[in-house]
Structure 1
Amino acid sequence: MSDIISIQNASISTSMYRGAMANIPLAVSAVTYGGVLGVLSAQKGVTWAEMSAMNVLMFAGSAQFVMVDMWQAPLSVMAVAMAVFIINLRYLLIGASLHPVFAGHSLWRKALLMHLVADENWAVTIAEHRKNGTNPYFLFGGGLLLLCAWSCGTLGGNLLGSFITQPEKYALDFAFVAVFAALTLSLWRGRNDGLPWAAAIVLALVSEKFLPGKWYIVIGGVGGAMVAGVIEYLRLQKR
């Protein structure tokens, strides 16, 4: 029995290590744009302790950027909560896409390991699963590394915020955009993705123009997923 447990623990450790190694380039980027968020948070009056709590309890970069942007007196807790809720609705799609990775695992394990899902380690895990197959511990290992990198960046930027008053002057604000552009291209599987991607882009652009807040993220994501679902359904019907 002890031998079986040892083998299982070794397998978990190996998966976490592989996940962490696969996310090293993204972790370096996370430190950079995390530093930008840290600088912005200091200028908004967010304390080091508040930023630490935000990192651990929320751990959602885009939502944290929105939250910090809205951080001003008097702080409207309801408005902030609604904005964060809307921008994090994309995790419904992310969670659904991870179903094959979590297949066979208990609900409590899914809830525990999913807390450290970020856009970056999600994209790396999905790409790895398509190539070689993987498990939730690969995802979790990448999440732990990203949490450490993100915390180093945000907390360092928060502490140095008074010295860097214009992060855009050094193009640090572009790091966030560059990372997500690279992640998007890594998920491209060929021309069959063209129509769903085009639908998501068009819906997101139109929604951003006519709707307030961050609804364009949800609408673009859901719309693209629905188009992909319809295409897959029609393909199966032809068989």
Structure 2
Amino acid sequence: MWRGFVASIPLWVGMLPFGVVIGVLSAAKGLSFLETALMTSIVFAGSAQLVALEMWADPAPILAATVATLVVNIRMAPMGAALAPWLDRLRGWRLWGSLATLVDHSFAMAIAEQRAGGRDAGYLLGNGIGIWISWVVTVLAGHLGGGLLQVPPGHPLFFASIAAFLSILVPLWRGARVDALPWVVAGLVALAAHRAGWPVPLPLLLGTFAGAGLGAWIEMRGRGAPGWK
């Protein structure tokens, strides 16, 4: 767990601008400091929080926000399946703690650790806890700063969160060009859906399933699974 926690520290820099934006947006929508703290610590999903806040109104569209965040977070299901070699051996707080703190960053780090021969699931939980701490702190800092933070849209600072996502792809690449194909397809499909004016979170969802589907097809074909040509 400690090794996973330490490995998460470089990712904190990438979490900073995204977390601050969520905090500022929470304050602008009228959420109190306590409400923001509860949402951030319990939900712990930046994309889902952003979607929910963008839809926030009075009265709150609970059903619409629930469906939207479900669509955004449905990608967690295949993540859990991919981590089954570790998760299947866990019970109690170790299992539920690992699932509660599972995010894109910790998933990518855990998969890279598995491919490197790592067999200790504590790495996943430690990594997730480290990211959770940095997320809560940055969001609350953004809420406290509120209107004091004047960063215009498109500022290079906002690219830090994207850069963090890109950086965690590096240890996942095994050197073969075919491994990068699902990433490229996912990005192109999501970009095409965004350009077409499809509402959030459809571009993310379409890109996710396009990339995951192609990746599964390539993996099954490489294993020579029956019925795959």
Q: Is TM (by shorter chain) over 0.5?
A: yes
Aligned pair in 2 of structure 1 residues 40, 200: CA closer, same or farther (>3 Å)?
A: same
- Structure 2 partner of 1:118: 103
> Please, which of 215, 218, 222 is the counterpart of residue 231 of structure 1?
218
Q: Deviations over 1:37-78 (max 9, x none)?
A: 212221222211111111121101111122222223232111
Q: Distance in 2 between matches of 1:98 and 1:137?
A: 12
Deviation at 1:188, TM superposition (A): 2.2
> Please, which of 174, 195, 207 is the counterpart of residue 159 of structure 2?
174
- Structure 2 partner of 1:13: none
Question: 94-103 vs 155-164, which deviates more?
Answer: 94-103
Deviation at 1:238, TM superposition (A): 8.7
* Structure 2 residue matching 1:213: 3-state secondary structure: coil
Matched, 1:194 2:194: no
- Structure 2 partner of 1:26: 11
Q: Which amino acid aligns with 1:221?
A: T
> Please, which of 55, 58, 68 is the counterpart of residue 53 of structure 2?
68
- Structure 2 partner of 1:6: none
Q: Distance in 1 between matches of 2:33 and 2:153?
A: 22
Q: Deviations over 1:181-237 (max 9, x none)?
A: 222344222312133233323332333326432122222222222222222332333
> In the alignment, is the contact (CA less than 8 A) between 1:204 and 1:220 conserved in 2?
yes
Question: 31-40 vs 79-88, which deviates more?
Answer: 31-40
> In the alignment, is the contact (CA less than 8 A) between 1:44 and 1:71 conserved in 2?
yes
Task: Output aligned runs, 1:1-239, within 5 Å.
Answer: 16-106=1-91, 109-166=94-151, 168=153, 171-189=156-174, 190-208=176-194, 209=196, 211-237=198-224
Structure 1 unmatched ranges of 5 or more: 1-15
Structure 2 unmatched ranges of 5 or more: none
TM-score between both structures, scaled by the size of structure 2? 0.86
Deviation at 1:25, TM superposition (A): 0.5
Q: Distance in 1 between matches of 2:157 and 2:225?
A: 49
Deviation at 1:17, TM superposition (A): 0.3
Aligned-residue RMSD, C-alpha:
2.4
* Structure 2 residue matching 1:149: 3-state secondary structure: helix
Q: Which has the larger radius of gyration?
A: 1
> In the alignment, is the contact (CA less than 8 A) between 2:108 and 2:168 conserved in 1?
yes
Aligned pair in 2 of structure 1 residues 149, 205: CA closer, same or farther (>3 Å)?
A: same
Q: Distance in 2 between matches of 1:185 and 1:32?
A: 21
Q: Distance in 1 between matches of 2:155 and 2:221?
A: 49
Aligned pair in 2 of structure 1 residues 193, 107: CA closer, same or farther (>3 Å)?
A: farther
Deviation at 1:169, TM superposition (A): 7.4
